[in-house]
Chains A and B, each alone.
Chain A
């Protein structure tokens, strides 16, 4: 059973200039105890995807169709506000991108860590002890006194580790991490990634890890989902996708300056052109205007083709290029 199984998810935003189709037919799984990386350039809908899962889409956003099955039985797209709120925190925990702003500036760290355990019947002292235990786990020095301190008294890396401690304190089934290391410097990034991997193994949760950084994905993740303009263009195990990328977009990403990638680039390699206007999606392939391998099939709707194993790519050319292709 997968911890999270998203199928045919469509999210629209209503804007003054018309309806914006931000996520189109998004389908992928986060299998139990696995780390799934989501990669894609800015504006491709990674944060929208997270917000849709968490039920925190802004007021002008709407899940038009699709299923977000959590632990096989609950469809997050159909849960009531209250039910959703009960899942957020204890079952699905999130670490957001911005470590500087992720903690409330006027409440002490201890207060915030105790507050998020508000559902627990335990005493305040027990909750504080639990918080200290978690802070020790993420290697915050002097964890007892850290409870009484305020966010501005910690460094960026420490704040990010505190945010991770808060997220894992509830022992969630699913941890969502939205570019948790982008704001950190390279050495901190390595330690944070290693910490995350250790903790994931200890707690045994599944992880959805969003990153701009192909090197980090390759190192940390088991599976990878490549997104472009609100669509999943390719997904599979990191091994399959990185060794034999089947979608031209993935290939471009991997080809772009491989030397820089091995040196842990902080930004996704840039490829010429821009994401199309999501208000007017083309009938054919969304990537076609920037694609170097254009062909006649680009103008027809693209379907997701199954390749070897769980490897899938949304390009009509994919089966022909891949020797192990299975007909759809």
Chain B
């Protein structure tokens, strides 16, 4: 379900332009407001919907999911570290979904790539991706198990 902008709510801050991985959120030539210039190319990642501080971006629901009178709205609260969605169905039924933001700082859990040694020639030619998690690698022995890696199955996490 691609996104669209309520131009009257947008204040042209550019957060959606910065964040869109598909580079399709752009600034209109006449009003300096954002718009999704190629909804067909939208990854539907909703980064822009969550990033917009003015709640100006919405999701265009597919007809089978929520035809007419639907709403898919999100509030992303950086101070509280919360992302909350409200899905309103055509019948008026409402579903609220809430999740904590768990963005990690660069360099702590996410490698700070500037400080990582560049790959060797051998690594470049390898079939393996950079930093491929070792428990999905089959090249040095058998399949890894949760136990052998000291991991535990927990509700809400699916390895």
Do A and B interact with each other, yes or no? no
| A interface with B by C-beta (< 8 Å) | none
